[in-house]
């Protein structure tokens, strides 16, 4: 965790920066999400200073994503030394830069930003990260939209690329009503790519069809798996994008044609992938694999990632990637707001605004 021990390092600044800031702090992990949320507190602490290759960002807005909730529970792929500030992404203005050309180029720029592994996150008034983890925002993209630029839009583009480049004629998505699911639906309609969208409630069927999606299935329907099998065979859907996990993974894979694969990128059920029959793996040549955006982007490289981010901003500005915001929280509303978000995630994002008292 960065502290004022770095104040003797050279840095460049364009705006006055206070010595202290407010931040949301996680004191302990707990698998029980309600207990983990209760351990959050609002603290005053020194503003961190950027080292070489780093920048200091005045945060304007930061979202809570499902990955943030997993982090609070200690169930995400990365844990941090506690106490620590949560938050994997956000948006703001670069107000200081450490040594390095890229950081200096970002000074006074509006950026979307991502957090590093074992340092404080974006749920704070100020935040330090690597300059290479920042994306300059286009004029058409607001701080609010920019705060949600990295995780959902880039994951949607990455998963869609997996479908197309893998030469899958069609795809299945198991969290159709999620914010990312709606992005995939709009992208599929825009590209005229067949996709089977799975939701949990009948009103969500209507919502996705209003976006132009043709095949939307309610998994609570008594004939759901028979209908899914028919549609997957008809369309040639050989890839499932699974954000739910649990028994859904094996059941969906079983309903798909031989040679299909399930790509698990989320764990909304908080359960291990189940009901995967060895028969399907051995004799039907079906596979299951995981997807995590961070290593996928690292494999793509910085130039390709910037191009992808630029494309995402174009889709945001054009209304294709439109993230619905259900609530905007101050730090003092964080605990009640996150509990409500957990209960109603499909209804929209929750954004945290550090400047709001």
Q: Is the pLDDT of residue 354 over 70?
A: yes
Q: Is the pLDDT of residue 3 over 50?
A: no
* Residues linked to residue 355 through DSSP beta bridges, in sequence order: none
DSSP 295-342: HHHHHH-HHHHHHHHHHHHHHHHTTSS-PPEEEEE-GGGHHHHHHHHH
Class for the domain spanning 4-148+323-352: alpha beta
The model's confidence at residue 4, banded by pLDDT at 50, 70 and 90, is very low
The model's confidence at residue 14, banded by pLDDT at 50, 70 and 90, is low
**Average pLDDT in the 123-138 region?**
95
Integer-rounded Cα Rg, in Å, for the chain is: 21
pLDDT tens for 56-97 read 999 999 999 999 999 999 999 888 999 999 999 999 999 999
**What is the architecture of the domain spanning 154-294?**
3-Layer(aba) Sandwich (3.40)
Q: Is the pLDDT of residue 2 over 50?
A: no
User: Does 4-148+323-352 match 154-294 in CATH topology?
Assistant: no
The model's confidence at residue 336, banded by pLDDT at 50, 70 and 90, is very high
For residue 168, give both structure tokens.
């899958």
Taking all residues of the chain, what is their mean pLDDT, rounded to a whole number? 92
**Average pLDDT in the 127-153 region?**
94
Contacts for 31-38 with beta carbons within 8 Å, 24 or more apart? 31/73, 31/74, 31/75, 32/73, 33/69, 33/72, 33/73, 33/342, 34/339, 36/72, 36/73, 36/74, 37/72, 37/335, 37/338, 37/339, 37/342, 38/335
The model's confidence at residue 5, banded by pLDDT at 50, 70 and 90, is very low
3-class SS letters over 137-164? CCCCCCHHHHHCCCHHHHHHHHHHHHHH
For residue 337, give both structure tokens.
């707001």
pLDDT tens for 341-353 read 998 887 888 999 9
Q: Is the pLDDT of residue 294 over 90?
A: no
What is the residue extent of each domain of the chain?
A: 4-148+323-352, 154-294
The model's confidence at residue 11, banded by pLDDT at 50, 70 and 90, is low
CA distance 72 to 248: 24
**Average pLDDT in the 146-151 region?**
94
CA distance 276 to 67: 25
């Amino acid at each position: 965790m960065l502290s004022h021990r770095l104040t003797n390092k050279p840095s460049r600044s364009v705006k006055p920066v206070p010595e202290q800031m407010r931040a949301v702090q996680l004191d302990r992990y707990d698998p029980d999400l309600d207990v983990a949320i209760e351990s959050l507190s609002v603290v005053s602490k020194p503003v961190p200073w950027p080292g070489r290759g780093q920048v200091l960002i005045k945060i304007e807005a930061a979202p809570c994503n499902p990955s943030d909730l997993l982090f609070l529970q200690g169930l995400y792929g990365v844990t941090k030394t506690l106490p620590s500030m949560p938050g994997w992404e956000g948006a703001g203005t670069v107000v200081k830069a450490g040594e390095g050309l890229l950081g200096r180029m970002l000074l006074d720029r509006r950026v979307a930003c991502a957090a590093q592994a074992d340092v404080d996150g974006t749920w704070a008034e100020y935040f330090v990260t690597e300059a290479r983890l920042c994306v300059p925002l286009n004029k058409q993209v607001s701080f609010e939209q920019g705060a949600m630029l990295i995780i959902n839009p880039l994951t949607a583009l990455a998963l869609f690329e997996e479908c197309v480049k893998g030469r899958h004629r069609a795809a299945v998505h198991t969290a159709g009503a999620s914010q990312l699911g709606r992005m995939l639906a709009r992208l599929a309609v825009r590209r005229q790519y067949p996709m089977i969208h799975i939701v949990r409630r009948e009103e969500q069927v209507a919502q996705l069809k209003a976006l132009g999606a043709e095949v939307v299935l309610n998994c609570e329907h008594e004939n759901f798996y028979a209908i899914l099998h028919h549609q997957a065979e008809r369309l040639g859907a050989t890839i499932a994008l699974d954000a739910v996990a649990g028994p859904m993974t094996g059941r969906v894979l079983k309903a798909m044609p031989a040679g299909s694969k399930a790509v698990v990128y989320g764990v909304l059920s908080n359960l291990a992938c189940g009901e995967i029959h060895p028969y399907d793996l051995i004799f039907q040549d079906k596979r299951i694999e995981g997807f995590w955006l961070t290593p996928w982007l690292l494999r793509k490289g910085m130039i390709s990632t910037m191009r992808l981010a630029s494309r995402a901003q174009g889709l945001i500005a054009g209304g294709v990637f439109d993230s619905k915001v259900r609530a905007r929280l101050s730090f003092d509303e964080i605990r009640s707001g996150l509990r409500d978000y957990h209960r109603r995630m499909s209804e929209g994002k929750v954004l945290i605004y550090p400047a709001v008292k």
